[in-house]
Amino acid sequence: MAKEELLEFEGEVTEELPDGNFRVKLDNDHVILAYTAGKMRKFRIRTGVGDRVTVEMSPYDLARGRITFRHKSAQPTTAATEPTAGTAAEPTAGTAAEPTAATAEQPTAQSAAGGGLLDVVKQRGKLMIATDANYKPQSFKNADGTWEGFDIEVGREIAKRLGVQAEFLDISFDVITAGSWNGRWDMNVGSMTITPDRKKVLYFTTPYYYTPASFAVHKDSKAATIDDLKGKKVGVGAATTYLDYLQGKLSLEGEQVLKPAPEGIDVKNYDTDQLALQDLALGDGTRLDAVLTALPTIQDAIKSGQPFKVLGDPVYYEDLGVAFDQKDSRDSKSLADAVSKIIDDMHKDGTLTKLSNQFYGIDLTTKK
């Protein structure tokens, strides 16, 4: 490690985790910034110049001036931190609930010995699964904090067949698709489309189901065909195949585009598909003229009373797989192979069909 000196940097909190912890963006590799009660807080940390750190903190630790961090290739370390003037925080109760993404980072003897991520998961007794907390009916959180959805039940069944418990983490989709997870979670069960580009950084199982990509418009829309969206504002989730499709650069694995995107579309990028749908619900053309997403997501929104209708036929079908980080130092291929075998078994014994019918009212587990 390089020589230590006292460093002070600023950054931003990118996510508040379900258990009350915060995910912090590290600018220039050395940023710790906490966000409590609407106030930005600066901290000093003692670390080696040039070291890379990943940070997880809870309000409890924040109130006491402690931040747990780890160097990229070292054991987790606890460093004393010193709030700057005028930033004292009040303790927050009840923050010690579920483990965070940091849990998956803790190395084990087997990972150090090259036993593979499969052995690490079994020794830990818990499978850390990244997914989306607001992608109903695929995955979502109820008011009481419990997880529900098709992807959630698939993840739980995979964990059960591995002989471990499932732990779910709400992670931004663009972070997941980029790879280089740094061991913060073990795999993604998030209805991810298998594409050639994603296969450059991620391992995939065989597809566990297939969904059509469709346009949703407001119920008051005068659009009669997909071609009527030419020059219109269309919302999509970040880092999705829907965005690639609208930009004319979509490449699929085992599927083909059925209809090219209309010309001149004004693409509006959102953090999630659900946020795009929320804007569409404000009225026809108010913020958006349409949203491109998975057909089951549109149908679920309509079923729940949202003012949408499906426009035209699906523009392509998606082969969806469970994803693993190829750069995981714990050898994720071992876990990917085991989970792929489980997916095959779940196809054969009807488990996936049963879950698909439960959440979608139709069997989406066979290619149309």
Tokens of 101: 């993404």
Looking at the predicted structure, is the pLDDT value of residue 276 above 70?
Answer: yes
Q: Does 197 share its domain with 292?
A: no
Q: Does 218 share its domain with 259?
A: yes
Q: Does 146 share its domain with 226?
A: no
Number of domains making up the chain: 3
Domain that holds residue 296: 210-319
Angle at 222 (CA atoms; ends 219, 226), nearest 5 degrees: 95
Q: Which of 51, 83, 115 is the last residue of a domain?
A: 83
> 53-57, 252-256, 290-294, 363-367: lowest mean pLDDT where?
53-57
Predicted local confidence at residue 52, as pLDDT = 43
Q: Does 251 share its domain with 304?
A: yes
Q: Does 197 share its domain with 230?
A: no
Phi-psi region of 69 (alpha: psi -120 to 50; beta: other; left: phi over 0): beta
Report which listed range, 23-27, 45-49, 255-259, is most confident.
255-259
AA letter at 351: T
Residue 62 lies in a domain: yes
Within 10 Å of residue 201's Cβ, how many Cβ atoms? 15
User: Contact, 71 vs 52, CB < 8 A?
Assistant: yes
Which are the contacts of 99, defined by CB distance < 8 A and separation ≥ 6? Answer: 19, 126, 167
DSSP letters spanning 17-82: -TTS-EEE--GGG---EEEETTEEEEEEEEEETT--EEEEE-HHHHHTTEEEEEETTS-EEEEE-E
Residue 279 lies in a domain: yes
Q: Does 272 share its domain with 346?
A: no
Model confidence at 174, pLDDT cuts 50, 70, 90, reads confident
pLDDT, average across residues 180-191: 94
User: Contact, 5 vs 25, CB < 8 A?
Assistant: no
Looking at the predicted structure, is the pLDDT value of residue 19 above 80?
Answer: no
Q: Does 305 share its domain with 349?
A: no
Token pair 């797989």: residue: 321
Q: What per-residue string of b and e applies to 70-100 under the rule 16 or more CB within 10 Å gives b? A: beeeeeeeebebebeeebebeeeeebeeebb
CA atoms of 18 and 139, how far apart (whole Å):
14
Query: pTM for the whole thing?
Result: 0.68
H or E segment to which residue 352 belongs: helix 351-360
How far is the CA of 274 from the CAs of 76, 314, 331, in angstroms?
Answer: 36, 19, 34
Token pair 């290739």: residue: 73
Predicted local confidence at residue 115, as pLDDT = 63
Q: Does 312 share its domain with 177?
A: no
User: Contact, 203 vs 260, CB < 8 A?
Assistant: no
User: Contact, 298 vs 216, CB < 8 A?
Assistant: yes
Q: Does 170 share its domain with 314?
A: no
H or E segment to which residue 285 belongs: none
Return mean pLDDT, the chain: 78
Looking at the predicted structure, is the pLDDT value of residue 187 above 50?
Answer: yes
Predicted local confidence at residue 79, as pLDDT = 35
Residue 93 lies in a domain: no
Q: The dihedral of CA 246, 249, 255, 260: what is its sign?
A: positive
User: Contact, 62 vs 89, CB < 8 A?
Assistant: yes
Q: Does 219 share its domain with 309?
A: yes
Residue 89 lies in a domain: no
Q: Does 178 share its domain with 226?
A: no
Domain with 348 in it: what CATH number? 3.40.190.10
User: Contact, 321 vs 194, CB < 8 A?
Assistant: yes
Would strands 266-270 and 233-237 be described as parallel, antiparallel, or unpaired? parallel
Model confidence at 367, pLDDT cuts 50, 70, 90, reads confident
Predicted local confidence at residue 6, as pLDDT = 31
> 18-27, 46-55, 109-118: lowest mean pLDDT where?
46-55
Residue 49 lies in a domain: yes
